[in-house]
Structure formats: C-alpha cells, structure tokens
Structure 1
Amino acid sequence: MGMDSGIEIKMMNPKKVDNLVQLEGPGHAMLASAAPQPSMSSRPPDGRRTLQHLQEQMHGQGEQGQELVDFKPFKKWVPWMVPGFVLANIVVFVITMFINDCPKNSVSCLAGFLGRFSFQPLKQNPLLGPSSYTLEKMGALEVSKVVHGHQAWRLISCIWLHAGVFHILANMLSLVFIGIQLEQEFGFVRIGLLYLIAGFGGSLMSSLFIQTGTSVGASGALFGLLGSMLSELITNWTIYENKLAALLTLILIIVLNLAVGILPHVDNFAHIGGFLSGFLLGFVFLIRPQFGYVSEKHVPLGYITGSRKPKHKPYQYVLWLISLILLIIGLTVGLVMLLRGVNLNDHCSWCHYVTCIPTSLWSCKTQKVYCESIQYENQLNLTCISNGKSNIYTISGENSSQVQQLCTNLCS
C-alpha cells in the first residue's frame, strides 16, 4: 500500500462410504456466506453401523446415562495473536503521530486540538496521518535506503506502519475479519509466519517495481491471508461441500480487492506480491488430512472401523513440495535482484499499468518536489523548482522536516 491509501464449512464428503465410520468436521468459518452448514451422512453401510446411526439408535431407545460425543478431528484454537497484531499496529501508529508532532514541524495542522497528535494538512496527507518524513524515520519502505543504505529491515518494518487513520482502520478491520478465523482453524504459529512472510513478499515485489517514494501498510500481508485461503480451498478440496460456490465467492473478493489497486497512490505490486506469497504458503502451512478414516480409539467396542486410508492425498504432497520450492526460489532471487539495484520496469514496459491506470480523473505520474532555500536567521525563503512559486517563512532554528513539508505545500 502506498503512503496515500489503504487495501466453509468443512465437511467430509468421501466418495466411498463402505467400511468407513464418518465423522463430523469442526466447521470452517472462512467463507460462511458461501459455504453450507455442516452435515453428516446418516446412511449406514451394509452390515455396519456409523457413529451417528448408533447415536440415533441410542436416543431412540431412550437409553439413559450413555451418550456419544461427536469426535472433532481438528483442534479449534483460541485466537490471541491476530488481536495482538491489531493492537501492535495501533500502538505503532500512535507513537508515529507522537513523533510527527505536527504543531512543531508544520505551519498548519488538522485537528489542532489534539496537540502533537494532530494531523498533517490534507494537501500533504489526505488519510489523516503523519508526514512522509516521519514515516521514513519510523521505517517506511524506501528502496534507495534498502539498496544503498543496507537497510533491508525496512521490508518488514513497513508492514507495521500506516499512512493515516483511514488507512489503518481499513487494514485492521480486514485483519480482524480474515485473520481471527484463520487463527482459530490453524493456530497462531502457522498464521503468524504466513502473515510475516507474505508481508515480506509484498514489500519485495513492490521494491522491484516502485523505486521512488515511500510505502507503508499491512496490505501485502492481508492479501497473503486471502491467497492462503484460496490455496487452502484447493489443497483441501475433497472436504468441502458446495466447492464451486466457495471458490467463486473467494475469487470475486480477491479480484475486487486487486481492482482497487489500479487507483493512484495504491501499491498494487505489494498486493500481488503478498497474494502470491500467501497462495504458495497456503499449500505449505494449511494442509489438512482428508478424513476418510477414523482411529479405533474413537469408536466403541464392537463396532468396525473398516480399512484405513492415508491421512493426506498424494496431490497434497505434490502441491506442498512444488509450492515450497517456488516460494524459496522466488523470495531468494527477488531479494538478490533488489540488493543489486535491479528495476524490473526496465524489463517490462507495461507493468506500471498493474498499479495505476491513467484516466481523465487522475494521473499516475509521481514527481518529487524540490525547492531552493535561502535562510537568514529565522527567515526562510523557499522557491519551488517545478512551478516557480516562492514564499518567505518564519521558522525557529534548523528543522529539515519542517522545510521539507513547507516545500511540499509550496509545490502542491
């Protein structure tokens, strides 16, 4: 995301029911609007009784003191990491605004009653947030500092920064909506690693295509979560009901979010890089066993479980291996190219349209502002190079942040 903008229910549906005891899955909330409610086959195979059939028979006979509890093959986790990520992002934004201290570094501020937490003028930042100079100090992604300043840590630090109130609000709502449900299903370790690696992948692709300006935001990591949901649906395909509806709904959500990326100041390369990283990671981290079997210890004495099947399908192992190899190669090659100063736009004449399509309503051109300055005591004379405007300001001491912001106002 550029500085000036934001961003199943599982059921077992084995083809064969002979020699199987079917068990109800835990449900999957990722696509609650598209997926059906959980159900279970109640038709017992020939000569054998399923677990549900036994329950119905026991209840029908009115037996007291005996009740079979549904076996839940997938553990449900208590989500704490995603709420922690949300809190961390909010705390970092508050600290950023504190450091920004608009009244001290700018001539005018928005919502001045907030004191040093007031916002930069809308001309500088329409998202109600700090200046680009402050974001740069806090760790925003700036390619020149990564390549020439050996500050590769900015590829990770930038995903914890946000350009403004609207930016962080949109991203954190998305993180809560998507991330908590994923953490409940797969645990904090896998989802935490997925979030961070996808965020890194988004920053890496952004750096290879957009090498001017600063970039901040968790959008790459969030698109990584969306990508992992798609690959999770594919790799666990056999335990979904209404597969096509779930797939089409998820694809529509992804396409709509990527379409927003063609607006100016939105870093669609970070979105795509995060999505691709998350898509590959989903095959690695979110693989599910295909429950066409059940362990004997979960079945009462006297009931036959039948033959066992492998926990995972062969195609799952193939996807796992291919995805892991592609992910390692992609991130390694991308990082090496970045540190060598490669600009992929030099090898792709049309790729810039991926992140912004010019129309009569907006322009995709970005330009840095430059000013000539002459200071005598507390008087500063600024002249904008691009439009020739000049003005005299009164400032106290030398403050490069304030001078930069005055230059931005003069050239806008």
Structure 2
Amino acid sequence: MGSWDPEKGSKGKKKKTYECEKPWIPWLLPTIVLANIIIFVLMMYTNNCPKNNKGSKGKCVARYLGRFSFQPSKENPLFGPSSNIMDKWGALQWSKVVHGKQGWRFITCLWLHGGLIHLFANVLSFVFIGIRHEQQFGYVRVGVIYLLSGFGGGILSSLFMQHTTTVGASGALFGLIGAMCSEFLTNWTIYTYKACLSWLYHLTIYFLLVA
C-alpha cells in the first residue's frame, strides 16, 4: 500500500498546484492618452493667442493662462488653438494630401485635438473603452486596430469632407468600438448578465461622449 504524503497527496501522487495569473497592466493606451495631452499643451503653447490673435473674432478665452489661452469662441468653440496652428501641426486636409502629397497627415491628425472639450471626450473614451480592450486582448491587437481604424477614418474623412480640417482619434475609437461589438456578438453565449450590462454601459458612455 502506498504511504500518505501531505505534499504529494494520496498514494504518493503529486498534488497539482495552480498559480494565479498576474493581471495584465495596460500601458499602450495610457501612453497614447499622455501623448495626446502633451501634444495638445505644446500646440497651445505655439498658438499663443494673446500675441497672434488679431482681435477680429473677439478676445482670447481665459487670458489669465497667458500664451496657453484659447482662441475666441467664435473661431473655436471647443476651447482650442487656431486652424492655422492645427494645420502646421499636421491636421488632415484633402487638398494638401492629394495635391501637396502630404500623406503623413493621415497619421499626425490622430494625435491632434480641436480643443479642450474634444480632448476631454477622447480621453474619457480611451479610459472607458480602450483600456478595457487592452486588458482583454493585449497591446499588439489593440495597437493594430487603433492605427488601422484611425488611418481608415482619415481616408473616409478626406473623401467626404474635402473642405474641412480634420483632427482627432474618433476613427480609431470607433474601430475599437467595432472590435468590441464583434467580440461580443461572436461570444455572446458565454457572457453573464453582469458582463452584458458592463458592456452596454461602456458602449453607452462612449456614444454619450461623442454625441
């Protein structure tokens, strides 16, 4: 008869032990959020509304911020820089992409924002949608979806809004939403009631932010 060993279990058989998996700590999307904030601050620094504003469209908003103050609300109601500054930083314009051969604007426009409100909405969307995605699928997949969706959104924007300057990562964020919807519809049978409510909650928050 086999002897009892508390380390090995009954009859000398080694007991199986399981180690808890370490939780994945997202880093890609928090880095993107931080980069967006830094770029917006630098863009406002170069904007320097008190010096460059001609006064034809009103006074700078929040002049106590000095060179970080915003353009007049008639020019930019989102509390941000002038269109000229956004253009210099790489905003997407159909004419410059097609006639000026500046295809790099499809990428640079993803890192720019039209104003503080625009930046705030995108940052919250990253927090509610993007970080959850990275925790679930990893930074490689999320990074690929983010870049491809943002690039595709820029192409559609330049085709259908040819006379408009475009900035922001809305296309990339909608790509993440599409990935979330696809994953949910594919695996909906394994979701619990609470998971469904959580998924709908995140989706609702995003559409409220971009509405």
TM range (shorter): 0.7 to 0.9
TM superposition shift of 1:237: 3.8
TM superposition shift of 1:68: 5.0
Tell me the residue number matched to 2:39: 92
User: CA 1:216–1:82 in 2, change beyond 3 Å: closer, same or farther?
Assistant: same
Tell me the residue number matched to 1:166: 117
Superposed, 1:269-284 pairs within 5 Å as none
Alignment RMSD: 2.9
Superposed, 1:69-80 pairs within 5 Å as 69=18, 76-80=23-27
TM superposition shift of 1:236: 3.0
Q: Deviations over 1:35-68 (max 9, x none)?
A: xxxxxxxxxxxxxxxxxxxxxxx9xxxxxxx785
Distance 2:17 2:99 in 1: 65
Tell me the residue number matched to 1:132: 83
User: CA 1:231–1:113 in 2, change beyond 3 Å: closer, same or farther?
Assistant: same
TM superposition shift of 1:247: 11
Is the Cα–Cα contact under 8 Å of residues 130 and 163 in structure 1 kept in the other structure? yes
Superposed, 1:240-251 pairs within 5 Å as 240-242=191-193, 245=196, 249=200
Structure number with higher helix proportion = 2
User: CA 1:99–1:181 in 2, change beyond 3 Å: closer, same or farther?
Assistant: same
Superposed, 1:114-125 pairs within 5 Å as 114-125=65-76
Is the Cα–Cα contact under 8 Å of residues 125 and 206 in structure 2 kept in the other structure? no
Given the alignment, which residue of 154, 178, 185 partners 1:234?
A: 185
Alignment pair present for 1:112 and 2:63: yes
Distance 1:208 1:254 in 2: 29
Is the Cα–Cα contact under 8 Å of residues 226 and 254 in structure 1 kept in the other structure? no
Alignment pair present for 1:188 and 2:135: no
Distance 1:83 1:135 in 2: 23
Distance 1:197 1:186 in 2: 16
Distance 2:206 2:118 in 1: 20
TM superposition shift of 1:204: 1.0
Residue correspondences, number: 194
* TM-score for both structures, normalised by structure 2: 0.81
TM superposition shift of 1:244: 11
- Identity across matched positions, percent: 56
Tell me the residue number matched to 1:178: 129
Tell me the residue number matched to 2:29: 82
User: CA 1:176–1:104 in 2, change beyond 3 Å: closer, same or farther?
Assistant: same
TM superposition shift of 1:234: 2.5
Alignment pair present for 1:222 and 2:165: no
Q: Deviations over 1:255-294 (max 9, x none)?
A: 955993xxxxxxxxxxxxxxxxxxxxxxxxxxxxxxxxxx
Distance 1:89 1:247 in 2: 27
Distance 1:248 1:189 in 2: 22
Distance 2:210 2:70 in 1: 29
Distance 1:244 1:181 in 2: 12
Distance 2:76 2:93 in 1: 18
Is the Cα–Cα contact under 8 Å of residues 160 and 217 in structure 1 kept in the other structure? yes
Bigger Rg, which one? 1
Distance 2:169 2:196 in 1: 28
Moved over 2 A (4+): 66-72, 234-260
Q: Deviations over 1:312-351 (max 9, x none)?
A: xxxxxxxxxxxxxxxxxxxxxxxxxxxxxxxxxxxxxxxx
Superposed, 1:7-406 pairs within 5 Å as 68-69=17-18, 76-106=23-53, 107=55, 108-242=59-193, 245=196, 249=200, 253=204, 256=207, 260=211
Distance 2:35 2:202 in 1: 30
Q: Secondary structure at the match of 2:163?
A: coil
TM superposition shift of 1:134: 0.6
Distance 2:202 2:67 in 1: 43
Distance 1:219 1:96 in 2: 19
Distance 2:210 2:33 in 1: 25
Distance 2:133 2:49 in 1: 38
Is the Cα–Cα contact under 8 Å of residues 194 and 225 in structure 1 kept in the other structure? yes
TM superposition shift of 1:245: 4.8
TM superposition shift of 1:241: 3.4
User: CA 1:168–1:253 in 2, change beyond 3 Å: closer, same or farther?
Assistant: same
Is the Cα–Cα contact under 8 Å of residues 101 and 117 in structure 1 kept in the other structure? yes
User: CA 1:121–1:255 in 2, change beyond 3 Å: closer, same or farther?
Assistant: closer
Is the Cα–Cα contact under 8 Å of residues 79 and 117 in structure 2 kept in the other structure? yes
